[in-house]
A and B are shown apart, each in its own frame.
Chain A
Amino acid sequence: MNKIIRKIQLSDDVFQMEIEAPLIAEERKAGQFIILIVSEEFGERIPLTIAGADEEKGTITIIFQAVGDSTKELGKKSEGDYIDSLLGPLGKATHIVKYDKPVVCVGGGIGVAPLRPIVEAFKKAGNEVISIIGARNKDLLILEDEIRAYSDEVIICTDDGSYGRKDLVTAPLKEICESRDPAEVVAIGPPVMMKFCALTTKPYKVKTTVSLNTIMIDGTGMCGGCRVTVGDETKFVCVDGPEFDGHLVDFDNMINRLNTYKHQEEEHNCRIGLDSKGGEK
């Protein structure tokens, strides 16, 4: 049981929560995530990136978008409430190095949350950091101030032009690849965005790291549900990742796998509760 210490609504359906988890706060590094269950009896295990931590207070911060049943349920929790289960820190930490050339951090939508600690870590390692953050519109843009605090330069894009440039994040990314010869690009956001960021940087041969958000159950390498094709190999996102070389990831396969349950037939075709001839009891 982990207590919610603080809750802030960042936009319509995006929430930030500070949660008591002293051991995780002590061990976690940029790029790692947790798995939580809102209520144990029938709940789902949902992976969320650790967007920050306060070791002294013994808390971690998560930022999530209420997209489906479980994240909506989580969004309904208030300060002082408890989360039934919280496991972490999981996954490998981001590989942070000091480069002589700039590092570009690209975040799309909710992806800005997992990007934040990475921006901070690259900056603290002494890098020149250029951040590009994007959202569909001004209201959906999150963590602008936090990203600014650790970036030398911030470019903001919105799909509708309500704030910053009216562009996809790949447009400024391409310009920077052409003019600034970056050492590394880190892109986190919806799978399609990451796919196109990787395609953008590929002709310039710029190392591109993406953080994959596949379906997960255990997060410890036990179920194999999170597997992705990277190069010619199968990798488990929860233990080998979540970060991978974006030029090697088979995004189309990953996007397909994310949609595994999307087309699930509505009709009830499970046998449980049927009589011996298959009719309703």
Chain B
Amino acid sequence: MEYVSPDVLAKEADELIKTIDPSALNPKSRRAIPLQEMPSQDPLVRRNNMEEVALGYTESQVKLEAMRCLQCKNAPCISGCPVSINIPGFIAAAAEGDFEKSIGIIKESSSLPAICGRVCPQETQCMATCTVGKAEKDVMRSVQIGRIERYVADWERENDKIQVPEVAPSTGKRVAIVGSGPSGLSAAFDLRKEGHDVTVYEAFHKNGGVTVYGIPEFRLPKKIVEIEIDTLVKMGVKIVTNFLVGKTRKLTDLLEKDGFDAVYIAAGAGLPKFMGIEGENLVGVFSANEYLTRSNLMKAYDTANSRTPIYHAKKVAIFGGGNVAMDAARTAKRIGAEEVHVVYRRTEAEMPARVEEVHHAKEEGIIFDFLTNPVKILGDENGRVKGIECLKYELGEPDDSGRRRPVPIEGSNFIIDLDACIPSLGNNANPILSNSTPDLEVNKWGNIVVDENNKTSIDRIYAGGDIVLGAATVILAMGQGRHAAESINKLLKA
């Protein structure tokens, strides 16, 4: 797809909307409205800054895109949304230009729409089931539900319309939440609304979990996360940073010594996976978590101010094909790498990353080496990375998941010269809590085991999000936070 400038997109939409009579729209004329592309920063410019890549729709664009929705009676899109947002409802309000009503409808089900509108993998959730996409036989041509969501959430924030929800009179009950990522924050929101005294404990010095230390500024500005958290603070949620539950305080001591009535664990995944290949501890090999934390949380890209250094390499390889890999690759480019490769052992079709991010990465000049996998990292005489040895792969028979399995081609070894690599294979469960809490049941991957109410093996302790699901998504983590909050509410009322 050719890059089209925001001005052109805006102008086209402004002209088109004048020709449309909303009251006369029928399914056929709705389908005739062209899909609205997301305006974005010029790829050649944005490679040199950390600012947000996607700029957001204009008012005409959001209305036009909302008019593409057929307002299906059975609303298949809702079933694709992990938190069942009333999608046709908020889209209809957006089409009418009633953005206040629109954001109100979303907020009945989700408390972080400005975040979800930016990072949810819509193409595998709401958009996957949308009637428009089905009719066009292309999920990417579905109604752009996330972009509309983002618009109304931004509208609310930019127009100072964010309302601090009412909090019920104090119940006298106290709940501790471990971790300030999407899951912990959404649980805090729902629990505080019911009038409980809520304290969130966060190990880092900043709140937000992966949304602040992992997902880069150019995809999700930190300011947006801060404002969402501000609302929680205004509701009376207490947030304590620099507090590692399991170390600063034992998990069960929160109940036994500190008098909390219930605990929700939302500690995220947070233990980087490595491949176990030779050379992984050479200088110049970084987990994506380390690389991204240096850049995002510690602002290492701001070399003039930040005290935290980041490794400068000319040629970098990222291993993996998910969002984490895309974020690491695009960050490396911005930090100054001349050539960035994403090495992935399957093909583009199997890549788990969001389609939009892959598209953006390509526009920014990231090189994709598909059907390729590193077998060894090579070092120079000083113990620094100088290259990787790879194997070529081909796709074999489908495995249990239905995906065709990548099979290595014997003897296809070849070498790529480079000076840094970033394994970005996702995260396992962090063992700090389970190691310090003998009674807490975890499965063989270290994830906390919960029942259908998100309750753990210990009374009054609940868990959810990535620490339960394994590395998942923002919206799934939030959904679990809400569900756990509901269970805790029941417990505290009983």
In the complex formed, the residue of A with least CB distance to B428 is A221
- Assess whether A88 is interfacial by the CB under 8 Å rule: yes
- Assess whether B221 is interfacial by the CB under 8 Å rule: no
Residues of chain A contacted by B242 (CB below 8 angstroms): 85-87
- Assess whether A40 is interfacial by the CB under 8 Å rule: yes
Asked if B335 and A85 sit within 8 Å, CB to CB, the answer is no
- Assess whether A89 is interfacial by the CB under 8 Å rule: yes
B182 to chain A, nearest CB (A): 16
- Assess whether A239 is interfacial by the CB under 8 Å rule: yes
Asked if A221 and B383 sit within 8 Å, CB to CB, the answer is no
CB < 8 Å neighbour of A273 from B48, B203, B244, B282 = B48
Asked if B312 and A265 sit within 8 Å, CB to CB, the answer is yes
- Assess whether A274 is interfacial by the CB under 8 Å rule: yes
A200 to chain B, nearest CB (A): 24
A250 to B312, CA, bound (A): 25
- Assess whether B80 is interfacial by the CB under 8 Å rule: no
- Assess whether B150 is interfacial by the CB under 8 Å rule: no
- Assess whether A173 is interfacial by the CB under 8 Å rule: no
Q: How large is the interface on A (under 10, 10 to 19, 20 to 34, 35 or more residues)?
A: 35 or more
- Assess whether A275 is interfacial by the CB under 8 Å rule: yes
A213 to chain B, nearest CB (A): 16
Asked if B42 and A276 sit within 8 Å, CB to CB, the answer is yes
Report the stretch among A6-14, A146-154, A189-197, A226-234 that lies at the interface: A226-234
- Assess whether B384 is interfacial by the CB under 8 Å rule: yes
- Assess whether B55 is interfacial by the CB under 8 Å rule: no
Please indicate which of the listed interface residues A86, A88, A224, A259 has the most CB atoms of chain B within 10 Å of its own CB: A224
Residues of chain B contacted by A272 (CB below 8 angstroms): 48-50, 301-303, 334-335
Asked if A271 and B249 sit within 8 Å, CB to CB, the answer is no
CB < 8 Å neighbour of B432 from A42, A221, A275 = A221
- Assess whether B205 is interfacial by the CB under 8 Å rule: yes
- Assess whether B272 is interfacial by the CB under 8 Å rule: yes
- Assess whether B437 is interfacial by the CB under 8 Å rule: no
CB < 8 Å neighbour of B298 from A86, A217, A227, A276 = A217
Asked if A89 and B248 sit within 8 Å, CB to CB, the answer is yes
Query: B330-352, CB under 8 A of A: which get 1 and which 0?
Result: 00011110000000000000000
Asked if B290 and A225 sit within 8 Å, CB to CB, the answer is yes
- Assess whether A80 is interfacial by the CB under 8 Å rule: no
A222 to B291, CA, bound (A): 11
A13 to B272, CA, bound (A): 36
Residues of chain B contacted by A70 (CB below 8 angstroms): 307
- SS of B interface (majority): loop
CB < 8 Å neighbour of A221 from B249, B284, B299, B430 = B430
Asked if A45 and B248 sit within 8 Å, CB to CB, the answer is no
A58 to chain B, nearest CB (A): 13
- Assess whether B9 is interfacial by the CB under 8 Å rule: no
- Assess whether B382 is interfacial by the CB under 8 Å rule: yes
Residues of chain A contacted by B289 (CB below 8 angstroms): 222-224
* Chain B, range 255-284, C-beta contacts under 8 Å to A: 270-272, 274, 280-284
How many B residues have CB within 8 A of the partner chain? Answer: 54
In the complex formed, the residue of B with least CB distance to A240 is B431
Asked if A225 and B287 sit within 8 Å, CB to CB, the answer is yes
- Assess whether B204 is interfacial by the CB under 8 Å rule: yes
A42 to B295, CA, bound (A): 11
- Assess whether B370 is interfacial by the CB under 8 Å rule: no
Residues of chain B contacted by A223 (CB below 8 angstroms): 272, 287, 289-290, 293
- Assess whether B241 is interfacial by the CB under 8 Å rule: yes
A142 to B123, CA, bound (A): 62
Asked if B205 and A40 sit within 8 Å, CB to CB, the answer is yes
- Assess whether B311 is interfacial by the CB under 8 Å rule: yes
Known: A87-B244, A218-B293. A274 touches B249 (CB 8 A): no
Known: A218-B204, A221-B271. A44 touches B293 (CB 8 A): no
B23 to chain A, nearest CB (A): 45
New A-B pairs, 14, CB < 8 Å, besides A223-B287, A257-B283: A23-B248, A87-B248, A89-B248, A217-B308, A221-B432, A222-B289, A223-B293, A256-B283, A256-B384, A264-B309, A265-B312, A269-B312, A270-B334, A275-B45
Q: What 5 A-B pairs have minimum CB-CB distances, sorted nearest first?
A: A224-B287, A256-B383, A223-B290, A276-B44, A44-B307
Q: Jot down 8 A-B pairs with beta carbons below 8 A, ordered by A.
A: A23-B243, A90-B247, A220-B270, A220-B432, A253-B282, A272-B49, A272-B303, A272-B335
Q: Chain B: residues with CB nearer than 8 A to chain A?
A: 42, 44-45, 47-50, 203-205, 241-244, 247-249, 270-272, 274, 280-284, 286-287, 289-290, 293-294, 298-299, 301-303, 305-309, 311-312, 333-336, 382-384, 430-432
Q: Chain A: residues with CB nearer than 8 A to chain B?
A: 23-24, 27, 37, 40-45, 69-70, 84-90, 217-218, 220-225, 227-229, 234, 239, 250, 252-253, 256-257, 259-261, 264-265, 268-278
